Amino acid sequence: MTVLLITRSDDSASPARVAAALEARGVRAYRLDTDLFPTDLRVSIHDAAGEGGRPQGRIVGPAGALDLDDVTAIYYRRFNVGARIPTDLDRQLRAPSIEESRRVLFGLMQALAGSGVFALDRLDVVRRAEHKSLQLALARRLGLDVPRTLVTNDADAVRAFAAELPAGIVTKMMASFAVYDEAGQEHVVFTNPVSAEDLADLDGLSLCPMTFQERLEKSCELRVTVVGDRVMAAAIDSQALPRARSDWRREGVALLEHWRHYELPADVHAKTLALMDALGLNYGAFDFIVTPEGRHVFLEVNPVGEFMWLCTTPGLPIDEALADVLCGRARRR
């Protein structure tokens, strides 16, 4: 048995923890760092299919050699193919080199999954589940508490939406990203409250749509990690630090050791699993707000969300749960 771990060299220690948990179960973990392909990693896929249409071939890289016949599961986590292709290569050549390399690895993963190899999670499932509007619609249908939300590039629609919500609104992006200044300093785009001055100047929406949601008072925020049918929740008092009140990630390092175990209400626990079923996910990192009145408000679920810090504080066994699903010891979707 071999689990193929798809990630990148600069990933956190999460893949190593999962690999160690797999090895402890007698399962080989083969790490494929996608940024090493095609420059430092060789992949061969033969046209002669094996039993059940399974692709035949071999991967050779820093982790050694792996015959595709030996792969029993795939753990998809991070992707950065072609990162080491020289940046001074002609742009007309570099771009297709990256695209061809991307198609090779994505195609390999899909072909293995299509021939019956378990994937956590399949690329097509992850891509579908990443759509935030779909998540909110399904969550609402399943009975989860969902904030009022507007996704638009229409400034008038934003002003009308804000007028309906006297407690205010916040804005966020659908994809996590950062911008870099001239000195190369990273500036992450967080969730931010929308001020009256912001409402007066929404010209940027003509270049990029944004998501707007009702502003909710918080008693705490939750990170709920679901692996198979295991639901593991942790809470943080994001209101303890001024800069964390709109988005705890602004003070992520300062809050790192203050996460605590949290017991979800039974109905929220059940509806979280129902949303995983609806999305077809085996892994999901959920974000919730708990209001002072005790409402548990669903914000989003990340199909490949980070979990490393939760293994340390408060000590959630997420890596162990992932290993159990990957080697077939726990429920799979």
Strand partners, 3: 29, 73
- Indicate if 228 and 206 belong to the same structural domain: no
Q: Count CB atoms within 10 A of the CB of residue 207.
A: 7
Which of 142, 143, 149, 138 minimizes the C-alpha distance to 279? 138
How far is residue 53's CA from residue 40's CA, in Å, rounded to a whole number? 28
Q: Are 48 and 54 in contact (CB under 8 A)?
A: no
Determine the pLDDT at residue 242: 85
Q: Count CB atoms within 10 A of the CB of residue 45.
A: 15
Q: Which amino acid is at 199?
A: L
Distance of CA 300 to the CA centre of its chain: 10
Task: Specify if 137 maps to a domain.
Answer: no
- Region 141-146: mean pLDDT is 98
User: Above pLDDT 70, what percent of the chain?
Assistant: 95
CATH number at residue 289: 3.30.470.20
- Indicate if 208 and 227 belong to the same structural domain: no
Determine the pLDDT at residue 152: 97
Q: Is residue 220 helix, strand or coil?
A: strand
- Indicate if 57 and 163 belong to the same structural domain: no
Q: Which of 165, 186, 214 is the last residue of a domain?
A: 214
Would you place residue 187 in the very low, low, confident or very high pLDDT band (cuts 50, 70, 90)?
low
pLDDT per position as a tens digit, 277-294:
999 999 999 999 999 999
In terms of residue numbers, what domain contains 46? 2-120
- Indicate if 203 and 158 belong to the same structural domain: yes
How far is residue 288's CA from residue 192's CA, in Å, rounded to a whole number? 16
- Indicate if 190 and 265 belong to the same structural domain: no
Per-residue pLDDT at 76 exceeds 70: yes
Would you place residue 178 in the very low, low, confident or very high pLDDT band (cuts 50, 70, 90)?
low
Strand partners, 286: 224, 301
Per-residue pLDDT at 333 exceeds 80: yes
Residue with tokens 């760092």: 33
Name the pairing type of β-strands 283-290 and 296-302: antiparallel
Task: Specify if 287 maps to a domain.
Answer: yes
Gyration radius (Cα) of the chain, Å? 22
- Indicate if 154 and 116 belong to the same structural domain: no
DSSP secondary structure, 252-266, as one string = TTTTGGG-EE----H
Q: Is residue 7 helix, strand or coil?
A: strand
Determine the pLDDT at residue 208: 93
- Indicate if 230 and 290 belong to the same structural domain: yes
- Indicate if 67 and 177 belong to the same structural domain: no
- Region 220-241: mean pLDDT is 96
CATH number at residue 207: 3.30.1490
How many domains, the chain?
A: 3
Mean confidence (pLDDT) of the chain: 94
Q: What angle do CA 212, 217, 218 make, to 5 degrees?
A: 110
Q: Which of 214, 230, 248 is the last residue of a domain?
A: 214
Task: Specify if 89 maps to a domain.
Answer: yes
- Indicate if 204 and 295 belong to the same structural domain: no
- Region 318-322: mean pLDDT is 98
- Indicate if 93 and 37 belong to the same structural domain: yes
- Indicate if 16 and 70 belong to the same structural domain: yes
Q: Which of 214, 236, 264 is the last residue of a domain?
A: 214
pLDDT per position as a tens digit, 13-50:
999 999 999 999 999 999 999 999 999 999 999 876 66
Task: Specify if 90 maps to a domain.
Answer: yes
Q: Over 229-245, what HEC string results?
A: CEEEEEEECHHHCHHHC
The interaxial angle of helices 132-141 and 266-279, nearest 10 deg, is: 130
- Region 301-325: mean pLDDT is 97
Would you place residue 161 in the very low, low, confident or very high pLDDT band (cuts 50, 70, 90)?
very high
Which of 130, 175, 3 minimizes the C-alpha distance to 76? 3
- Indicate if 114 and 209 belong to the same structural domain: no
